[in-house]
Amino acid sequence: MNFDSHALSTLFEKSLIRITADFGSEKDPRSVISDLSKELKTKISNAEPGPYNYKLTRGSDGVYHLETPFILYRDSRLLLISLLKWIERSGITERDNNLFIDLKFTDQIEGPFKGTLFNTGTKIDNIDKLRFILEFDESKVYSAFPSRKEGFVSKSILRFEPKQKFIPKENASIDPTLYDMPNTQYNGVNFEKLSEGFLRLQYIGGTRYEQKIEEILNILNQFCVTAWDCTINKGFSKSNIITFEKAVAVHNKIRESYYDYAIFKTYFPKVEFSVDLIFDPKTLETYYQILRDKIYDIFTNLEFKGTLDLNYDSSFATFQIKEADVKCKNIQGIEFIKSKIEFGTFTKCDFFDCEIVDAKLNLCNLYLHTEANRCNLLDSFSNRTTKLMNCEFNGMNGVLNGQMEGGLFRKGKVGSHAEISDTTTVIEYQQLKSGYMVVGDKVIIPTKIFRQL
């Protein structure tokens, strides 16, 4: 579909857009405010965004956050072009920088924006979420921003979780009652914002996103048109049904394996399953009936190459994955040993001699020469043998006792064996010593504090 078609101009005229952009700059805050005010032809300040003001704040990590009010679609395009060109000249964008686009319709707004195109007010919170997921073409977005496919806030929305582990094959048509929508706070489109009266697109961002002006404008158009279409028009097309069937078919093997260990072995021949390192078939069949819910959760959130060793330690009631090459989504309470891990959100997991890339680690423990690259660690522990490269460390319940090169140490505790490079930005830390607190640019660890606006 041509989203730039003149025939769609009525929809664009009835769309209100809000932009939230992250970026850095070597310029001092006063110069940034002055330059942006001239470039965007609007007052820039730290006050709440309004008709005559855009809000600009600066975090303790030095990243600027620009937020506009809701403005007309045509004005948002001009704003995006001017903003992105300024960032390209005078700013810098990194992996974690986002460009969010919020959308709502003028038909729901009282006053001068109130529309009459559809006779009654059209509210975006009436959007058919399932149809939007099936209609929106993510492939075009990810081709423009490939690094965002497994980003922390830009994962695919085309993922459905069955409400029950087994769904009869005769229920192959689109039945929303059988599936849960994804937790979209961390997905490319955030439907949770509908409770606040708008829909948020989160796909755009990453290093040098400002250089892709044309792609961003095309995504804006696609976002607006698809949202309108899925609010006004109900029902599913043949293409929607095919897309849905492909999306749910991804988990067919594990779903069909749910009731029977023999079927699991047939569909997953490269998984070496054991209990307390015992491979006796009768023992495994007995334990499989007890453990199948957790096994189901693991394999619906994990893709692996080659073979995978899966052991259940009954003493600690913990699953262990060893010598695996995996890509993950949402994993909780697993021990990983000598594994290569990409992407995903991990909660209360332990890692031994692993390589972790582009993951989010919450309440996790890193041991035995584990290396993490471009990861976000929250309230996690990293022991003296581990190494963090270009990571973000945060949370006062977290402890860094290993090496950290580059990245951002936002907040946390530091052990006596910690080695932090002078290329790491450190904001706030507590030395693991009773009564000794360091905040700001004092002693021991090289620290950079950024001026606030």
Domain boundaries along the sequence of the chain: 6-248, 252-439
- Sign, Cα dihedral of 249, 251, 254, 259: negative
Higher pLDDT: 289 or 444? It is 289
Least confident among 32-41, 106-115, 196-205, 310-319: 106-115
Query: Mean pLDDT: which of 168-172, 209-213, 296-300, 442-446 is highest?
Result: 209-213
Mean pLDDT of the chain: 86
Query: Mean pLDDT: which of 139-153, 166-180, 204-218, 418-432 is highest?
Result: 204-218
- Is pLDDT at 19 greater than 50 in this prediction? yes
Least confident among 9-18, 95-104, 173-182: 173-182
Q: What is the pLDDT of residue 435?
A: 44
Residue for token pair 């607006």: 224
Q: What is the pLDDT of residue 451?
A: 59
Q: In b/e form, how buried is each residue of 284-307, taking b as 16+ CB within 10 angstroms?
A: beebbeebbeebbbbbbbbebeee
Residues 138-157, mean pLDDT to the nearest whole number:
90
- Is pLDDT at 82 greater than 80 in this prediction? yes
Judge whether 446 and 429 are in contact, CB under 8 Å.
no
Judge whether 81 and 87 are in contact, CB under 8 Å.
no
Q: What is the pLDDT of residue 445?
A: 42
- Is pLDDT at 75 greater than 90 in this prediction? yes
Q: What is the pLDDT of residue 85?
A: 97
Q: Return d(Cα 362, Cα 379) in angstroms, integer.
A: 6
pLDDT tens column, 369-402: 999 999 999 999 999 999 999 999 999 999 999 9
For residue 255, give the 3-state DSSP assignment: helix
pLDDT tens column, 218-268: 999 999 999 999 998 888 888 888 888 888 777 788 888 888 899 999 999
Q: What is the pLDDT of residue 123?
A: 86
Helix (H) or strand (E) holding 189: strand 189-190
Judge whether 54 and 68 are in contact, CB under 8 Å.
yes
Residue 279: is it exposed, middle or buried by C-beta count within 10 angstroms (0-12/13-18/19+)? exposed
Q: What is the pLDDT of residue 249?
A: 79
- Is pLDDT at 287 greater than 50 in this prediction? yes
Q: What is the pLDDT of residue 107?
A: 59
- Is pLDDT at 161 greater than 90 in this prediction? no
> Between the CA of residue 134 and those of 138, 192, 236, 238, what are the distances in Å?
10, 17, 9, 11
For residue 382, give the 3-state DSSP assignment: strand
Residues 28-33, mean pLDDT to the nearest whole number:
92
